[in-house]
Every structure is written in C-alpha cells, then in structure tokens.
Amino acid sequence: MKTYAKRKTLPLGSIRARGFLKEQLERSKDGMGGHLPEIEPGMIADPYIHKTVVKQWDGGEISGWGAEISGNYYAGLIQLAFTLDDEELKRKAEEWVDAVLKTQRPDGYLGTYNEPDAKIYEDYNAWGNACGMRALLFYYEATGRQDVFDAVYRCMLWFAKVWSGEHKTCYAGALITEPVLYCYERTGDRRLLEFAEEYAEYLCKHTIFANSYLDFTDPKLKYNANHTAAYGVAVRLPALLYAATGKKKYLDAS
C-alpha cells in the first residue's frame, strides 16, 4: 500500500526503557498501572469481556463509557508491558486480548454493546470501541499475531457497513476512523477508505463544534468550547486521511 505519510512510527517493543524512564515505568507496574483491573474490575476488566455497563457522572449508564475507559487502560498496559519487556505484564495483556477476541460476534462486531439495534448508533459505540481497537492493534504490532489483526479488521468492516450513510455521530465517534485507516493501510480494502472519507464529509454537514476539515481551512477559524478529547479526534482526522489518500484538501486542513 502506498502511503503519503512523511514519518512512520516504530512498532511497539522496538524501543526499550532504560535508566530513569524504566524506573518510572516499573513504579507504574507496581502501582495502579499494573493493578487497576483488580481495584476497579467493573470499570476496567469487564466491559469488553462481560459487557458490563458503567455509571456516568450524571447517574446514567452506558456501555461505551466502559469501552473508552477499559480500552484506554489496556492500550496503556500493553505499551507498558512491551516497553519494559515484562513477562508478567505481557501475560496480563495476553489474557485480556484472548478473552476479548472470544466475544466477537459472527457479523464481526467486537465491542461492549449488547443493546437493541437502536443503541449501536450511539456516539460512544464508535468512540469507545476505537479505544479498545487501539489496544488490540498495539498488541498486534508487538506480537505479530494475525488473529488479533483479523478480529479488528472484521470489526472495522462491521462499522463500514452498519454505520454507512447517515448512521454516524458528530461528537467524537469519528475516532473509529483511526483503526479503520490502520486496517486499510495494511489490507488495501477500499471499503474502509470510503467509509473514512464518508465520515469526514458527514462531519462537514453535521458537526456541532465547527471542527470538520472544511472548517479548518476557513480563514476565519471559528472559536468554540468543546471537549478536548473530541477536538483531538477532529484535528487528527484530516492528517490521517491525507496519509492514506495524498489529497491536498486534507493536507491543507491539517
């Protein structure tokens, strides 16, 4: 696959921590970094494996809340394990990865939602799911396990199909395009690229924060207040699309 990116990231595990940095990472391993699932199993250990819901600060419950928190934790744990080259942490990472893969549905969906179909279009399904897929892809990079990549690839095809057309969200769901484009760059499956570009165009019409790639090319950049995580998604999307397509409009927006 041709890529237009000017830089490439090194695979996880190709750089090992030493000295002061290693000492700090080992402290994380001995503290919450290595033990958070034991402290908060419902929030960290269970969402992807047992499909538990996590209470929000407003008292509600939503599956994607746990998907984001759990996914981000395991993405960090996996990076910690392979940067330290720590066998104990690697074992914990492998146990989680294997348990998650066993939950994949026949249609390819791999996430935290068990609700009726109407709920699968919540913003958090894509946003939270992307965090978990990032963790799985880190594990794939570090180990080369093809079954892990294949599981994420199938899940991204599920999103490309089920979230096609107007079945998208305009808060932070576009984060799903990150693992979508990762899989596209390694398979050449144009269904994934088409979905990612379709999402970018959707945001041009439906953005609630004026953060679409077209908004970024406006000489009068709009001022607004919004969730920084959602903003971080929005500003990365044009760069990711440029790396995959080479289209000038995405480079200009970046």
214 inside domain:
no
In a domain, 82, yes or no: yes
Which of 52-61, 81-90, 120-129: highest mean pLDDT? 81-90
In a domain, 217, yes or no: no
Burial of 165 (0-12, 13-18, 19+ CB in 10 A): exposed
What residues are paired with 61 via a beta bridge? 55
- Domain extent for 160: 19-204
Residue 161, token pair as written in the block: 């199909």
- 122 domain-assigned: yes
- pLDDT given at position 2: 80
Residue 243 within any structural domain of the chain? no
Residue 189 CA to residue 177 CA, distance in Å, equals: 14
Q: Can you read off the two tokens belonging to residue 223?
A: 């001022």
Can you tell me whether residue 54 is helix, strand or coil?
A: strand
How many Å apart are CA 224 and CA 209, to the nearest integer?
A: 7
Give, to the nearest 10 degrees, the angle between helix 19-30 and helix 32-39. Answer: 10
Instruction: With beta carbons less than 8 A apart as the criterion, state whether 171 and 202 touch.
Output: no
Q: Would the pLDDT of 55 be above 70?
A: no
Residue 155: the pLDDT is 98
**pLDDT of amino acid 59:** 65
What average pLDDT does this structure show over 214-221?
A: 85
Residue 152: is its pLDDT beyond 80? yes
**Whole-number Å distance between alpha carbons of 97 and 47:** 13
What is the reported pLDDT for 248?
Answer: 94
Q: How many domains does the chain have?
A: 1
The per-residue pLDDT for range 8-31, each reduced to its tens digit, is 889 999 999 999 999 999 999 999
Average pLDDT score over residue span 97-120 = 91
- Chain position carrying tokens 């570009």: 197
Confidence band for 3, pLDDT divided at 50, 70 and 90: confident
Stretch (H or E) spanning 55:
strand 54-55
Instruction: Count CB-CB contacts under 10 A for residue 231.
Output: 15
- Give residue-wise pLDDT tens across range 91-102: 999 999 999 999
Instruction: Tell me, yes or no, whether 161 lies in a domain.
Output: yes
Q: Between 13 and 64, whose confidence is greater? A: 13
**Per-residue CA distances from 47 to 54, 200, 214 (Å):** 8, 29, 36
Answer for the pair 182, 149: CB distance below 8 angstroms, yes or no.
no
Residues 6+ apart with CB under 8 A from 41: none
Is residue 233 in some structural domain? no
The predicted pLDDT at position 118 comes to 75
Please, which residues have CB within 8 angstroms of residue 229's CB and are 6 or more apart in sequence? 172
- Asked whether residue 164 is domain-assigned, the answer is yes
For 168-211, the pLDDT digits (tens) are 998 889 999 999 999 999 999 999 999 999 999 999 999 788 88
Mean pLDDT of 61-68: 77
Q: Is the dihedral of CA 115, 140, 5, 72 positive or negative?
A: positive
Q: Give the H or E element holding residue 62.
A: strand 61-62
DSSP one-letter code for 61: E
Question: What pLDDT score was predicted for residue 193?
Answer: 98
Pair 22, 84: CB distance under 8 Å: yes
pTM exceeds 0.75 for this model: yes
